[in-house]
Amino acid sequence: MNVLRLDKTVFEVRSWHDQVSDRPFWLTRTPEERFAAIEFLRQLNYGYVEDPPSLQRVLEVVERSRGQASAAGRRLSGEHP
């Protein structure tokens, strides 16, 4: 497995006026190539994770008695709790 590492000892300061636009280059790339480049930069920045954790999905069921308005519903209708 290839391990990518970022050399944090390299540092360069440039003026915004000296900046060269990469836009023409990236407009010649396919969406798949652009996405792969973004993923590459993400891995460099946050570290490579072979199997990244997914978001936990949580479902909570709240039972209310019939006809009982929620606090948010009372506030919207002008009722006070």
pLDDT digits (tens, 9 = 90+) for 6-58: 778 888 887 877 777 888 899 999 999 999 999 888 887 877 667 766 778 88
What is the predicted pLDDT for the residue at 54?
A: 75
- Where do runs of H (alpha helix) occur along the chain? 23-27, 31-46, 71-77
The domain limits of the chain are: 16-77
**Encoding tokens for residue 78?**
């002008």
The answer to whether 25 touches 34, Cβ cutoff 8 Å, is: no
pTM of the model: 0.43
- Give the integer Cα–Cα distance in Å for 20 and 44: 22
- Residues with Cβ within 8 Å of 80's Cβ and at least 6 positions away in sequence, in order, are 74
Spatial contact of 6 and 42, defined as CB atoms under 8 Å apart: no
